[in-house]
Amino acid sequence: MASTEPWLMENGSVKVLNKEIRHGRTAHNRSSSSLRKKSDLTLVSKIRFPCLRRCLANIQEVILGTKLSVLFPAIPLAIIGQCFGFAEPWVFALSLLGLTPLAERVSFLTEQIAFYTGPTVGGLLNATCGNATELIIAIFALYERKIDVVKYSLLGSILSNLLLVLGTSLFCGGIANLRKEQKYDRKQADVNSLLLLLALLCHMLPLLFKYAAASSDMTAKATLQLSRASSIVMLIGYFAYLVFQLWTHREFFEAQEDSEDDDDVTEETPVIGFWSGFAWLVGMTAIIALLSEFVVGTIEDASNSWGISVSFISIILLPIVGNAAEHAGAIIFAFKNKLDISLGVALGSATQIAVFVVPLCVIISWIMGITMDLNFNLLETGSLALAIIATAFTLQDGTSHYMKGFVLLLCYFVIGACFFVSNRPLDSDPNGVKMGLQSSTGTVFRA
């Protein structure tokens, strides 16, 4: 419809998505597109007033152009519940549901803007906004000095991408293609695995440094300095990764399309204008920030009401609900035997969080005068290490079958059960110097 309705464009011109730009689309773009639906603009096109017509067309494309549009009513309900003093667990649940379609719409809007800026700038924008929900929640948690929530939520995002999303994709893809040998390009997986191992090293050194010293009080400042230095190193590695991904070796990360798909999208055009997309992106980000504030403020009350630990909610529930759209898209493409896209979503998101969002939070906390280091303690760091190692072993041969995905899912279920039975309160220290795991880790080492 967009190709026959030039009035949809604010500048009066329709830009066709040529082969070069189309093949420059990332796996995240194509994964999110699996949950989109075409809008019928027949009634809107009959409106005589151009401004009203464009406004209604944009609303229909942005709000109703996704299969997750049924979850949008959760946003005003969460706001009403917060304003009128509804029960905190309801506000928390509604806020989580409202974040699900917003995350998918942010991906859609960045892709629309990329039509006008080109694949390189669009890739940078997608890399910046790809995990906007996790970053915004982490910033609000830092402002509330809930360091545990920051660490738990970011760790949970990495674990869910590596074990849950990747495991489900490999398992479902293997079941749906039992008589086919599923193959994927190892080049992208190798690069992401190396960056994840770098992040693991930067997380393990503060932990090992702390327990190798004679006194933890004497090493607190040194551990913090080591964490900040390691964060700077990871950010340098991430920017080098962007150069590698968007300029020098772009072909490793492009979501290649089959010949039958090329016939379907040769005339693909943007459905909203540049400035409309930018305005919608700013508005969506503001709403995500508002709902993130609700989530951070009500997570403890929800934990007490439901009888579930904050660690389980932050590590398991937050990543699953917040990135449900992206995860569902990865699984859908695995069913279609397009594992490169599924791997690009799972490994790309895990890498971005591990080497960009986590160190960025450390730097932001440094600027805010809040003490946050890379010591995620023994249980969390051990879970991260085992997840990265298991993923690296799974992807070492370039082929896949359902058993690999099944084992990754079992690993995720065991880790989830571990944090479910581990009911520890949040750290009461306003600077977050110590997490509530000191007695647990001390018991482990004594054993």
Report how far residue 303's alpha carbon sits from residue 222's, in angstroms, rounded to the nearest whole number. Answer: 34
CA distances to 31, 211, 348, 349, 359 from 353, rounded to whole Å, are: 18, 26, 9, 6, 9
User: What's at 366, amino acid-wise?
Assistant: W
pLDDT of residue 196: 95
User: What's at 416, amino acid-wise?
Assistant: G
pLDDT of residue 434: 42
pLDDT of residue 442: 43
Give the CA angle between residues 59, 71, 298 to the nearest 5°. 120
CA nearest neighbour of 87 among 77, 101, 102: 77
The SS3 assignment for 326 reads: helix
Report how far residue 331's alpha carbon sits from residue 31's, in angstroms, rounded to the nearest whole number. Answer: 9
Question: 283 pLDDT exceeds 70?
Answer: yes
Question: Mean pLDDT throughout 253-278?
Answer: 62
Radius of gyration in angstroms for the set of CA atoms belonging to the chain, rounded to a whole number: 22
Tokens 């700013």 belong to 282
* 337 secondary structure, DSSP code: T
Tokens 């939520």 belong to 153
Residue 405's pLDDT band (cuts 50, 70, 90): very high
Report how far residue 87's alpha carbon sits from residue 316's, in angstroms, rounded to the nearest whole number. Answer: 22
The SS3 assignment for 370 reads: coil
The SS3 assignment for 182 reads: strand
pLDDT of residue 240: 93
Report how far residue 162's alpha carbon sits from residue 42's, in angstroms, rounded to the nearest whole number. Answer: 43
* Per-chain mean pLDDT for the chain: 79
Structure confidence by residue, pLDDT tens digits, 408-434: 999 999 999 999 988 766 654 434 334
- Please, are residues 261 and 34 in contact by the beta-carbon 8 Å criterion? no
Tokens 């006008």 belong to 116
Structure tokens at 231: 């964060």
Question: Mean pLDDT throughout 393-403?
Answer: 88
* 400 secondary structure, DSSP code: E
Structure tokens at 183: 């193959």
Structure confidence by residue, pLDDT tens digits, 313-330: 989 988 887 777 777 878
Give strand pairing partners of 36. 66
Structure tokens at 336: 């279609």
pLDDT of residue 262: 44
The SS3 assignment for 224 reads: helix
- Please, are residues 167 and 391 in contact by the beta-carbon 8 Å criterion? no
Q: For 72, phi and psi rounded to 5 degrees?
A: -60, -35
- pTM for the whole thing? 0.81
Tokens 């009350």 belong to 301
Report how far residue 367's alpha carbon sits from residue 386's, in angstroms, rounded to the nearest whole number. Answer: 32
DSSP symbols for 84-125:
TT--HHHHHHHHHHHHHHHHHHHHHHHHHHHHHH-HHHHHHH
Report how far residue 373's alpha carbon sits from residue 216's, in angstroms, rounded to the nearest whole number. Answer: 14
Query: In sequence order, which residues have a C-beta less than 8 Å from that of residue 340 and are 6 or more positions away?
Result: 27, 184, 185, 188, 255, 256
Question: 134 pLDDT exceeds 90?
Answer: no
DSSP symbols for 273-299:
-HHHHHHHHHHHHHHHHHHHHHHHHHH
Question: 293 pLDDT exceeds 70?
Answer: yes
pLDDT of residue 75: 92
Question: 76 pLDDT exceeds 80?
Answer: yes
The SS3 assignment for 66 reads: strand
Q: What is the dihedral of CA 23, 29, 30, 31, to 10 degrees?
A: 150
Report how far residue 412's alpha carbon sits from residue 406's, in angstroms, rounded to the nearest whole number. Answer: 10
CA distances to 25, 162, 357, 361 from 231, rounded to whole Å, are: 29, 21, 10, 9
Tokens 């072993």 belong to 393
Q: What percent of the chain has pLDDT over 90?
A: 29
